Structure 1
Amino acid sequence: MPRFLIVYVRWVERLNYGVGRVAMFSLFALMGILLWGAIARAGWQPQIWTDEMAQFLLMGYFMLGGAYALQLGSAVRMDLLYSRWSDRTKAAVDAVTILMLVVYLGILLWGGIESTLYALEYSERRRGLWRPYMAPIKIVMVIGIVLMILQCTAFFIRDIARLRKVEL
């Protein structure tokens, strides 16, 4: 395999590992916000921002942690046939399915970018009492999709290397 592909795969996996580890710690912020909201409801006037902020943090957690979950193999896989296949057959099937996933993520990215541009252009806000701006969370969504596309391309390169019997 060309050296730049090996460097690309290692760079993408290091990036997604780091972002995923940081995203894991956002759960502590989420717990803090939910705890604050629960205490405020029980003790004094409920805070209008806690539920929506928790939803935004959870969405950011899922989107930024998606590539990390792919990297760790945490995705659900039907193992009826897969476990019986040879490594080359697994690599071939994985390469095809990764291409389908990249197409799906590409369409999702296109819609995400259009939605983000709309939110930025028109200062879109969420309906409700708090009315937070939507652009920041949509930007996080687009970043998460890009990270998943990068991870999928790294997987594709690894699968092609396995088909060629080259170790990365």
Structure 2
Amino acid sequence: MRKYAYGFIRGVDAVNHRIGRIVMYGIFVLMGILIWSSVSKTFFMPSLWTLEMAQFAMVTYYILGGPYSIQLGSNVRMDLLYGEWSLRKKAWVDLITVLFLIFYLGVLLYGAVGSTAYSLGYYGSEPFSFFGGLITGAESVGRMETSPTAWRPWLWPIKSVMILGIFLMLMQCISELLKDVLRLKGETI
């Protein structure tokens, strides 16, 4: 069991580390979009797509960078208390709180899958079977949801990024849970 836990931890941490290191440069994409927005509004005809594309870039940056942030331990903690605790007490508190986070991310992932299915034109109540049907050819994409803005982009790409980010965050939280259990058993990670 311990061998599998270490393998899972190494695998998830490696994937989220690589994705996080790549996505952290997404801030420059966001800056480029906002600079273009300022330039186009000042010297040319204002672009319709810049504000919404900046929002999409920020969502991608935030949601795909979240697992890396959790891995580094740079998420917000109450350091007034937490910083003075022993490693064992920190592991117990982290273990309990990460269980709540895993439950929350599970609910969030279920909602994201349903929302993405809706954006692809599925209006039923079984979004997972819809995606299974898309893979097997039993289902087809319907009328795709678009944003209500003047630019009107499809929403399924950003919702798919959200599914990926929430899934990666869920995997990172499970990795952190396993690390806490191993720490409580006296192992160093």
TM-score normalized by the length of structure 2: 0.86
* Counterpart residue identity of residue 139, structure 1: S
1:159 alignment partner in structure 2: 180
| Aligned positions of 1:103-118 closer than 5 A | 103-118=103-118
Size of the aligned set, in residue pairs, is 168
Which runs of 5 or more residues in structure 2 are unaligned?
122-142
Counterpart Cα distance in 1 of 2:93 and 2:72: 18
Matched, 1:29 2:29: yes
* Identical-residue share of aligned pairs (%): 45
Residue type at the aligned position of 1:160:
V
Q: Which has the higher helix share?
A: 1
Deviates more, 1:28-37 or 1:50-59: 28-37
Specify the alignment match of 1:67 in structure 2.
67
Task: Tell me the amino acid that sits aligned with residue 136 of structure 1.
Answer: P
Aligned partner letter, 2:144: S
- Superimposed CA distance per residue, residues 24-64 of structure 1 (whole angstroms, 9 cap, x where no aligned partner): 11111111111111111111100100110011000110000
TM-fit CA distance, 1:116: 0.5
RMSD: 1.1
Paired position in structure 2 for 1:52: 52
Match of 1:40 in 2: 40
Separation (CA, whole Å) in 2 of partners of 1:84 and 1:73: 16
- Report the TM-score when normalising by structure 1: 0.96
Distance 1:16 1:27 in 2: 17
Aligned mates of 2:32, 2:92 — CA distance in 1: 45
Q: How many Å apart are 1:84 and its aligned residue?
A: 2.6
Q: Name the CA distance, whole Å, in 2 between partners of 1:46 and 1:14.
A: 42
SS at match of 1:84: coil
Regions of 4+ moved over 3 Å: none
Distance 1:5 1:44 in 2: 56
Aligned-partner Cα distance in 2 for 1:120–1:21:
30
What is residue 140 of structure 1 aligned with on the other side?
161
